[in-house]
Amino acid sequence: MIGDWIDIGWLEEIPVRGSRTVPVEGGEEVAVFRTADNRVFGLANRCPHKGGPLSQGIVHGHNVTCPLHNWSIALATGEAQGEDKGCTPTIPAKVSGGRVLLCRASTLKAAA
């Protein structure tokens, strides 16, 4: 842990246009996504529609498509796209020195 940030590993450990999950003790896991332009985003690992595991979805641009019912979710905001309505909690994420960091306070809040 680095101050207010949790170090979850190297950027290269997350596949391009893919994700990995981070367990949170006492709460929901967090899905961390890596886009083709090497940006990282954190979301609670559940679709706002039916709770599908977003980490198993397809990353395209700065969105992920839920594997259950094809809802497209914006990685930056957690908002459903198009005509769909709903939002999943976001967790601030960043890359520093090649390491992926999640905001500690937001991670704990999203898990509660």
- Tell me: the pLDDT tens digits for 27-78? 779 999 999 999 999 999 999 999 999 999 999 999 999 999 999 999 999 9
Q: pTM of the prediction?
A: 0.89
Q: What is the pLDDT of residues 99-110, one digit of tens each?
A: 999 988 776 565
Which region, left, alpha or beta, applies to residue 76 given φ > 0 means left and ψ of -120 to 50 means alpha? alpha
**Domain map (residue ranges) of the chain:** 5-111
Find all residues with CB under 8 Å of 72, minimum gap 6, and list them: 63, 64, 65, 66, 80, 81, 82, 84
Residues β-bridged to residue 9? 100
Q: Does domain 5-111 have CATH number 2.102.10.10?
A: yes
